[in-house]
Amino acid sequence: MLHMYDSYGDGWNGAYLEVTTNGVPSGNFDCAASYTLDSVFSFTGASMDFIFHSGNWDSEITFTILDPMGDTLVSGPAPSDLDNLLHTSNSTCPSTFNCINPSNLNAFNITTNSADVSWSAGANETSWNLQWGNSGFTVGSGNTTYGLTSTNSSLTGLSTNVSYDFYVQAVCDTTGTSIWSGPFTFTTVYVPGSCGIFSIELYDSYGDGWNGGFVDIEINSVVTQSITMANGSGPELTTFPVDSGDIVNFIYTAGNWPEENSYIIYDQNNNVLSNQTGSGANGPPSTYGLIACASCLPPINLGTNTVTVNSALIDWISASSGGGTWNVEWGVSGFNSGSGNFVGNLTTNSYFLSGLNSFTSYDFYVQEVCSSTDVSTWTGPFSFMTLGVPGTCGMYTVALYDTYGDGWQGGYLEVEINNILVQTITLQNGSGPETFDLPVDSGDVMDLIYTDGAWPEENFYEVYDQNGILLILQVDSSGSGPASTLGLEACPSVSSSFCGVYTLSVYDPYGNGWNNGDIDIMVNNQYKGTSTLISGFGPDLTSISVDSGDVIDLVYNPPVPYTLNSYGDGYQLIDHNGTLIIEEISSDSLGPNSTYGIVACAIPQNMAENIDQDVLIFPNPCDAYFNLESNYALDQVIIQDLLGRILLKESSLDIEKLDVSQLPPNMYFVTVISRGEKFTAKIIIQRD
């Protein structure tokens, strides 16, 4: 009896018990919900074999196996090592077959061209039939020996490093023959090639094997074997012979959860030839063109030096004892091998690339020429990016991070400047920061559009202006990754009436975006841009620079054609101090309402009078400090930037002078708190 439990109640999530009777499969058994009771038929003296196969969430699994007499064979949580729990059945049931099949098949004394095989009798038979062949053959098509009178036999004339299967059948005196037991699989020993033995180790970071993924080992364009890791974390080692000059490829095919897979390849001296780790939905890359015992080795340590806006000095190190001549191929990142710019017969291990485009990503490959008939494989690509020419505003910087430390797993940011896509960036691996510099002109509008990959909740990013001041920090708030950033203006012009930057935040509680609906942003009846949520929950943010007294209209445009999926779509407008000005949420399928007539930095008249009469700030503009005079005691002074971030806070009863020498030139908001009232004014810091 099989009592199978799952503490969470969602079944075994891919785990199962494999059961065989006298080597013949009886079935695979698992729990469908919280509890499942099942049974396996056996007969007197049958060899029962129970194997547990791991799935996801094994920690939720427990089971109990009882024998036919009701005694417990195993009981408890899912073990990590239940492999071949063998039990001789104490059932009182006779066999459903008059002739019981053999059990305990095995192979031993395996050489390059022979192997001894053995088995145990099913009952009292004294004769057996044996069938064998290459792994995977169909019973009836193999090599057969009839009437063996011993429970072992020798197989000869086998091929080196080949997998074989064998089956055994009992011949009973009066009732004919049993069913075939098997297959039992073994692999013959191989002779090291003239180069020796290469090896590959398979790993899985989660510990549940490769879930259908595999690697084809290809030697001289012929697949010699396909390997995988059935379960566990590894390493699972496979070795194979290679001759000098053999070209070896390792072709990876993804299964489920390929990002957990990785492999390491070693040469005949146990040196690492390739170390490939899974990233994103494709898993580890394939490895091509490894030459066994190559006399002309490919270059190593490719790199760049002195990268400018239109040039780069590339270099490498020779791994061969001879040669001293190299070929280089280079081009814009992603070019196909053979289609790039070729430079041959270089006699130094560096080369100066000129005439490059600014702010562009390039790849290069290097090959060593040891003689006219002996060249190495290509090494590369090595990627680098030329510097951007700073715009009239300078360089903005985007920094990418990942909290888990495995990169963005297929997620990425599209950087648009003035609605033109200029770069797509991502964090390939690690925790970051990985920084990208972007040249911008004054008044440029930058959009950073996030697309998620696996584990988006681990991703976040920052945006810094030309002075290294943090402008934007986007972290995950909904499990869909960080928000996009829209409408970020570079070096916004500052007038005496500048109010600051308002933020329009759009979101969708159902995670399906705005279905092509959008909002037109109008300032003083002039169109300033459009905001929408392309997909996901949001929020996506759009920045709006405004002067005091500007009138903002937010005009909602429903999808065309009309959709019924706008229910719940909403938006918020937040001022420069972080105060919520307006929020609209759709209560029907028509989408949220438009909002008209929002006055930027609207100050009540009595507050304006208080600022003029009760608080005096001078000099304004100032350089390193400014003075405060008031008719009343000042409790607190707060200085905020144009995005509403608090940069300085002072609390005292006699604040008269504030040092602002550490703040860069710009316009700021000064809030004075006195007698429980707030007074806000603007201060300009400027320096010669």
Sequence letter at residue 387: L
d(CA 127, CA 145): 11
Average pLDDT, the chain: 83
d(CA 671, CA 462): 27
What's the Rg (C-alpha) of the chain? 36
Contact between 378 and 289 (Cβ < 8 Å): yes
pLDDT for 558 equals 85
d(CA 573, CA 366): 54
Instruction: Classify 280 as helix, strand or coil.
Output: helix
Over residues 526-544, the mean pLDDT reads 80
Over residues 407-419, the mean pLDDT reads 88
pLDDT for 580 equals 82
Contact between 379 and 367 (Cβ < 8 Å): yes
Percent of the chain residues topping a pLDDT of 70 = 92
Paired strand residues for 459: 402
Quick one: CA dihedral 653, 656, 660, 665, positive or negative? positive
d(CA 367, CA 379): 6
pTM score: 0.39
Over residues 363-391, the mean pLDDT reads 83
d(CA 57, CA 496): 62
Instruction: Classify 258 as helix, strand or coil.
Output: helix
Closest CA to 665 of 482, 469, 520, 489: 469
Over residues 679-688, the mean pLDDT reads 76
Furthest CA-CA distance within the chain: 120
- List the domains of the chain with CATH numbers: 2-88 (no CATH), 103-187 (2.60.40.10), 196-291 (2.60.60), 300-385 (2.60.40.10), 394-599 (no CATH), 605-685 (2.60.40.3080)
Whether the per-residue pLDDT at 248 is higher than 60: the answer is yes
Whether the per-residue pLDDT at 470 is higher than 90: the answer is no
Among 407-416, 421-430, 473-482, 515-524, where is mean pLDDT lowest?
473-482
687: its two tokens: 């320096």
Among 10-14, 83-87, 125-129, where is mean pLDDT lowest?
83-87
Among 121-135, 212-226, 261-275, 617-631, where is mean pLDDT lowest?
617-631
Return the top range by mean pLDDT from 397-401, 620-624, 671-675: 397-401
Q: What are phi and psi of 96, to 5 degrees?
A: -70, -10
H or E element at residue 606 = helix 605-614
Task: Note the pLDDT tens digit of each residue in 172-203.
Answer: 876 688 889 999 999 888 788 888 899 999 99
Closest CA to 663 of 619, 625, 615: 625
Over residues 410-429, the mean pLDDT reads 86
Task: Note the pLDDT tens digit of each residue in 11-58.
Answer: 888 888 888 877 777 778 999 889 998 888 777 777 788 888 888 888
679: its two tokens: 């007074």
